[in-house]
Structure 1
């Protein structure tokens, strides 16, 4: 066996396989093997410069090979780690990259059999797959515990020793957090604890969730779990063909909910944990940041005034539109480094904004115009003319629409999440609780187009060049497109169950890029064939947005990594 592995390693290192690593543009070549699998496909190889924070990663192919181009790896000494659930390096590894010739490295992995060590390899989706329980119990878990994943993975829960009563108290405490503006290291408390009696958490009884969690953790005094730990398959085929760069935000701890890319390839992001926006120049790796306005009122005693900005949209002139706190729109001029604000006739403004593509003149957003009455929120959509600064008359969205009917979610209300506009400039948004796409015609009349799958919970997405709006169905594990010419919706299933797709974004080749919550995988759908490629990221990630940089010479996708305060770039050769 040892002779066979060594021979394969030598052949791969010599370039006698599919991937040609002899180009002068290559800075590093390598091969990954283990006694258990011999040459290993789908191992994420991660390089970090000594005393640096930037991560660069690639994935080994079917022959165990990997390579990194010189344009993504400067000369220097790098620490080498891997991500492959169930495996770890046999020993610590470093490699020296030189300017004049490619470096090479052989990575030997060993299997991890100790459950307490293996547990740290699992993603949240791996934990869901590992937990015992019925389909109904796991649906309950995922649809609510995803809110925990907004701050940390399910490993914390699985390793805990809490009983059901203690878990209920933890859920009560977590419910006081502003989840979009929080991470495990940056907490903002925005509401007082609700009474534990009959406590409803995101439409479900908190006690039901707590009782289930106490059956899957270490609350019975055991030292390990009484069920096997399962992991998703590693990437394969096209899923190994990506170079990933992870840029940590200088201001830490930070929460990065959204980003966008300007015409020059600069990445603009909102710091959702602090009142700042920032810019990354990927060519130099240089970060800049500017303080952002916040018009939220001071809170009552004992609560935090929410700080941090959410959505970022860069328009066709490279003006940066920012979802700030309060009832105003804000635009930042990169040329003058100044802010301009625009009043909206609302008492609460949705922190998300519709995109404004080149040639479009209207920025859509929504807000509540008067104090809610019962289940009526009085949410209206408003169009801001970005040239004149005029705000159009509000469009009533849900006041005359039926209340949500999901039997598993109690007391939920209609609202808009992701906004966009059709080719004629008319408003649309995802309406998660109504499981619909809300659309306005040119006269301000609003209709709800229901998803074919009931209670699918449409989340976020983007309109393509063919007047189709792509969006995710968070609870149904689908990605879908609505033809805005005829309201027909086509759904594409994603696997495995509970992969929880969040944002869908088309690229220039018609492929659809999809972030998922809890799997640490970025997905790419080919609508013509239905084929889905999965790319495993080198870090745990929670991405609320997907942006494609159309100025790049290759397919380049950017993700905001909310919980870790990072920007992630994924590059794939066309």
Structure 2
């Protein structure tokens, strides 16, 4: 075959791939230019493979682009997503590996690169390293109640693989559980902090290791010793969830590595300047990312604990007022810290490190502060650390909250992880209304609780939240008739643990999982779920829905809290 013939065949193949992936309309464009990189994924055990994530990272770049193989095993990177250069290609496919771990391919500006990927079945160790936390929980041969009570919150600081691949027996693990229980909430194995009360006696008889483990610590230890390597290899099958299929493969994902390897992006929000802002769960840092270039900048504010104290640092929340100011919940420190993205300066306050919401403060001049165990209050910020603050109390009910959100009238909503009701406080009267959370429906396996974690309010003033322990997302519409204000929507995956929910105001609701390395989108009209697998382990605490200015499909931004990365999920199909 001549060079000309080979080139013609190559472009014909690329056009066929484009037709399979995007339909005949897109194929015409591919015939003119072709995708940047394409190929077919297969394995001897299955033949062609649908639902394999194919990742391409250009040498020297902090950005990784991911596409997913379709029902014909074909993957294709659009030309506008890969610059020319040398790329390292990797895959994610539960139960399978790419021999050698990666391939290298040259992408050129005037030609379509082709790279077929032949996968092999993973060894036991390779498969174990691939499992998500949700898959580990699904695999453990323990009663669901035991997994729920003893092990589900391991993901606060690390994945379930730490427990499953440990070698501690029950007696030793009890002390390990006791020690880990005192770490602050922003801690991970590479970077942990202690409560101020534990610092002086850490590692001494008067400290935590000098105390007897509690009954809960012993229960956790017995559960861990029953599923780990303390008695040899796992005596139970390692179960993987199905790979993506159909619309779940029609997506492009872009992952950005942050400069600091220990960065912990907790909340993410698009700013008015087009940059994506994030806060650090374990450091006094707010940063921003340029989605076009991958450039990042970070800004640090001073220690806000009492002078001479050992109060842990870090931010739990970061709320945008819609005008360029970000209100940072400084967690254990006094706060908040307000970052002005236009001047790149901080305005510091010393009354509460809880969440602060000022998005609807224009209505009556008041911002709201609360959540994370702090009393609910409304606040006026006068500048230079000066405030006017009023504590709001309720008779006949608790205003405890894990998270709070405000509507367009500056009414505030909230609830706690153990709440049996969502509350709403009227901005004018300061009187609360309580809306009971129905006991059903719940999700599948691992959905033994209720309550809420993080929440948002949509353009219709409906309150949406993640029913983390109940495997559902919830919606409260106070405008509906009494008894019909609330709906719950179960998430169709075991141990998904939805952390938050956000409506895109165009018919879809998004949520993210702390344990399944997945995000999910629900069609509000039909109840159809589309679940998107992410290219790496992802500990999700917050999501941000990007609404396109001229219609079209919404996309999602997620901070990978334990992985020092941020990822953008762009669906290609409704």
Whether contact under 8 Å (1:363, 1:383) holds in the other structure is: yes
Q: Which residue of 2 aligns with 1:538?
A: 535
Alpha-carbon spacing, 1:18–1:25, altered in 2? closer, same or farther (3 Å): closer
SS of residue in 2 equivalent to 1:19: helix
Whether contact under 8 Å (1:184, 1:563) holds in the other structure is: no
Give 1:25 shift.
Answer: 6.9
Aligned equivalent of 1:523, options 507, 520, 537:
520
1:127-161 Cα deviation digits (max 9, x unpaired): 111110222222224xxx34321222111211211
1:66-125 Cα deviation digits (max 9, x unpaired): 22223321111111110000011134411111112222211111112x322211111111
Q: Which residue of 1 aligns with 2:344?
A: 337
Q: Which residue of 2 aligns with 1:183?
A: 188
C-alpha separation between the residues in 2 aligned to 1:293 and 1:110? Answer: 51
Q: Which residue of 2 aligns with 1:506?
A: 503
Q: Which residue of 2 aligns with 1:19?
A: 21
Q: Which residue of 1 aligns with 2:557?
A: 558
* Residues 1:425 and 2:428 are matched in the alignment: no
Q: Which residue of 1 aligns with 2:171?
A: 165
Aligned equivalent of 2:67, options 23, 36, 58:
58
C-alpha separation between the residues in 1 aligned to 2:79 and 2:347? Answer: 42
C-alpha separation between the residues in 2 aligned to 1:453 and 1:384? Answer: 38
C-alpha separation between the residues in 1 aligned to 2:361 and 2:507? Answer: 19
The normalised TM-score by structure 2 is 0.85
SS of residue in 1 equivalent to 2:473: strand
1:202-241 Cα deviation digits (max 9, x unpaired): xxx2211211211111112x2x211111000111111111
SS of residue in 2 equivalent to 1:328: coil
What are the ranges of 5 or more consecutive residues in structure 2 without an aligned counterpart? 1-9, 199-206, 441-448
Q: Which residue of 2 aligns with 1:118?
A: 127
1:363-409 Cα deviation digits (max 9, x unpaired): 321279xxxxxxxx772322446999864522125x7537xxxxxxx
* Residues 1:381 and 2:377 are matched in the alignment: yes
Give 1:299 shift.
Answer: 6.6
Aligned equivalent of 1:363, options 363, 367, 372:
367
Q: Which residue of 2 aligns with 1:493?
A: 490
C-alpha separation between the residues in 2 aligned to 1:358 and 1:550? Answer: 23
Whether contact under 8 Å (2:11, 2:112) holds in the other structure is: no
C-alpha separation between the residues in 2 aligned to 1:121 and 1:229? Answer: 10
Q: Which residue of 1 aligns with 2:214?
A: 199
What are the ranges of 5 or more consecutive residues in structure 1 without an aligned counterpart? 1-8, 369-376, 403-413
Alpha-carbon spacing, 1:70–1:387, altered in 2? closer, same or farther (3 Å): farther
SS of residue in 2 equivalent to 1:129: helix
Q: Which residue of 1 aligns with 2:444?
A: none
SS of residue in 1 equivalent to 2:492: coil
Note the aligned Cα RMSD (angstroms). 2.7
Whether contact under 8 Å (1:42, 1:240) holds in the other structure is: yes
Q: Which residue of 1 aligns with 2:397?
A: 401
Q: Which residue of 1 aligns with 2:327?
A: 321
Give the stretch that moved more between structures: 439-448 or 9-18.
9-18
C-alpha separation between the residues in 2 aligned to 1:390 and 1:100? Answer: 60
SS of residue in 2 equivalent to 1:18: helix
Q: Which residue of 2 aligns with 1:410?
A: none
1:173-218 Cα deviation digits (max 9, x unpaired): 1112112x22222111115354654626xxxx22112112111111
C-alpha separation between the residues in 2 aligned to 1:415 and 1:119? Answer: 39
Aligned equivalent of 1:435, options 400, 412, 420:
420
Q: Which residue of 2 aligns with 1:451?
A: 437
Q: Which residue of 1 aligns with 2:144?
A: 135
Structure number with the higher helix fraction is 2
C-alpha separation between the residues in 2 aligned to 1:207 and 1:164? Answer: 7
Give the stretch that moved more between structures: 334-343 or 420-429.
334-343
Alpha-carbon spacing, 1:400–1:86, altered in 2? closer, same or farther (3 Å): same
